[in-house]
Amino acid sequence: MRTATIGGFDVPVDHFIGGEWVGSPNTFESRSPLDWDAGPIADVARGDAAAADAAMAAATEGFKTWGAYSPAERSEVLHRLADLIEANNEEIATVETLDMAFMYASMRDRLVARGAANFRLYADLIVQREERHWDAKNMDNTVQHMPAGPAVVITPWNAPFMLSTWKLAPALAAGNTVIHKPAEWSPLTAAILARLANEAGMPAGAFNLVQGIGQEVGAALVADDRARRITFTGSPATARHIGKAAAENIVPFTAELGGKGPLIVFADADLDQAAHRAAWQYDDSGQICLAGTRLLVEESVRDEFLEKFHAIVDGFVLGDSREDSTDIAPMVHPDHLANVDGFVQRARANGDTIVRGGNIVEGTLHYEPTLIEPASNDSEVVQHEIFGPVLTFQTFQDEAEAIELANSTDYGLSALVWTTSRERAERVGRALRCGLVWVNTFLVRDLTAPFGGCGISGIGREGGDWALDFHSDVKTLMILSDSAS
């Protein structure tokens, strides 16, 4: 097994296929956004068609064992994996921070634990799942949930560890084997997870990891007709490619895609809290799909809100993700930094007003927290996901206009609403076209609730039983009453 030493930890850099660490003829470089110019921190196996084929063969073979485990047996292994994730918190947090610049304190205090919680949730749900039985038409009817087979799990570079557990846990709990293809900009904590899955006692072929480039090994995996489920988190553009492959092989497919969420502030809101939350949409340099990136503020409180907002953002420290004193981390990759800057420079050229920020911080991968007042609701910065520290600011006169603006993009992942009126919270919350609405709060979510998007924000729902349903083939068994005893 080849490894790279990252922050003092030896991290595997090969694929994990059929219970073995295996390499590929080629590798790709992984660099740290915290010190980009220092060169690669790891040379990671670059999967090809042969790696995809080997992983699919292993997952197909492994399904004979893992798919035959009882729910209680699977539950036991998944709880052991959750224990191991908790015990290796420091390693996972350190490696994720170096690999993609996620804030170390957030990883250490929240996100590693959340990854473990995802495995615990599904370890519990799978044993609580009851089969439905009923008598009708002189038959005893039973609904059985069968494991479906190998599941291809493709994940993005932002919050890579936590997001991958959110997809892997229900697939494994349902009895499917998995082939995980993490993003090439943040491949390393996925390798730690594969190692821990092995230590937890998963049989060979149940948990497979293939590293590499999306258009290469990712495309090969989703095109393989042995895959029985494909679950993807990433951009709408990639989802279109994967959806075509899924359609070709008639494979169920879920997609958690981008967002362009509104953050709506009514005049009756607690403006201190609303401004605080709006400012913190710059968290993780705006690389959060759920972020409320379109600030929609009632006209009568515009100035008061903006004053509070700017005062908070003025105090933000842009720095190294390892330091607790840092508020805003660097962006993941120079190419992404350039993408984000491209949006802002086009906005400038198109007559939108750059209210604050709008520049790369010289010599770093930081982008200044940026606020743009668009010339119109059709502006590119209003209608397209930027996935960086760039928010837009618009005002509305009344509730109807707020709802109309909120629902005016092709996306529909999440929305935030700030109001002290319970009636308004219900009314506006119900009128928004998206998968999640938070009123006077953000990000906290009961893991048993459904999660997903409308429009180009996604297909299908994850969370709780929704993900178990997706990963199961459902059968109705009908036995003529009193015909067999």
**Which spans of this chain sit near ligand NAD (rule: CB under 6 A)?**
154-158, 163, 181-184, 214-215, 218-219, 222, 233-235, 238, 241-242, 256-259, 289, 385, 387, 413, 453, 458
Least distance to ligand NAD, CB of residue 194, Å: 15
Least distance to ligand NAD, CB of residue 155, Å: 6
Closer residue to ligand NAD in complex, CB, 26/397: 26
How distant is the alpha carbon of residue 457 from its chain centre? 12
Least distance to ligand NAD, CB of residue 388, Å: 11
Closer residue to ligand NAD in complex, CB, 240/475: 240
Tokens of 67: 């798919």
Euclidean distance between CA atoms 91 and 463, whole angstroms: 27
Is 166 in a helix, a strand, or coil?
Answer: helix
Least distance to ligand NAD, CB of residue 157, Å: 5
Least distance to ligand NAD, CB of residue 288, Å: 7
- Of 256, 298, 385, 462, the active-site residue reads 256
Nearest residue to ligand NAD by CB is: 214
Euclidean distance between CA atoms 338 and 359, whole angstroms: 10
Return the residue matching tokens 């509104």.
262
Closer residue to ligand NAD in complex, CB, 269/437: 437
Q: Are 3 and 13 in contact (CB under 8 A)?
A: yes
Least distance to ligand NAD, CB of residue 240, Å: 9
Closer residue to ligand NAD in complex, CB, 93/190: 190
Closer residue to ligand NAD in complex, CB, 298/462: 462
Where does residue 212 rank: exposed (0-12), middle (13-18), buried (19+ CB within 10 A)? buried
Closer residue to ligand NAD in complex, CB, 308/333: 333
- Of 216, 289, 368, 434, the active-site residue reads 289
Q: Are 191 and 209 in contact (CB under 8 A)?
A: yes
The 229-233 sheet, strands edge to edge: 20-22, 15-17, 207-209, 178-181, 151-154, 229-233, 253-256, 458-459
Tokens of 483: 């015909």
Closer residue to ligand NAD in complex, CB, 118/155: 155
**Beta strands 472-480 and 261-265: pairing type?**
unpaired
Closer residue to ligand NAD in complex, CB, 117/306: 117
Q: Are 447 and 467 in contact (CB under 8 A)?
A: no
How distant is the alpha carbon of residue 201 from its chain centre? 26
DSSP of 412-461, one letter per residue? -SEEEEE-S-HHHHHHHHHH--SSEEEES--S---TTS-B--SGGGEES-
Is residue 289 part of the annotated active site? The answer reads yes
Least distance to ligand NAD, CB of residue 453, Å: 6
Q: Which of 458, 414, 456, 418 is nearest to 435 (CA)?
A: 414
Q: Are 264 and 417 in contact (CB under 8 A)?
A: yes
Return the residue matching tokens 């993609």.
100
Least distance to ligand NAD, CB of residue 387, Å: 5
Euclidean distance between CA atoms 276 and 466, whole angstroms: 33
Is residue 256 part of the annotated active site? The answer reads yes
Query: Cα–Cα–Cα angle for 322, 185, 388, nearest 5°?
Result: 70
Give the residues across from 475 on adjacent strands: 144
Active site residues: 256, 289
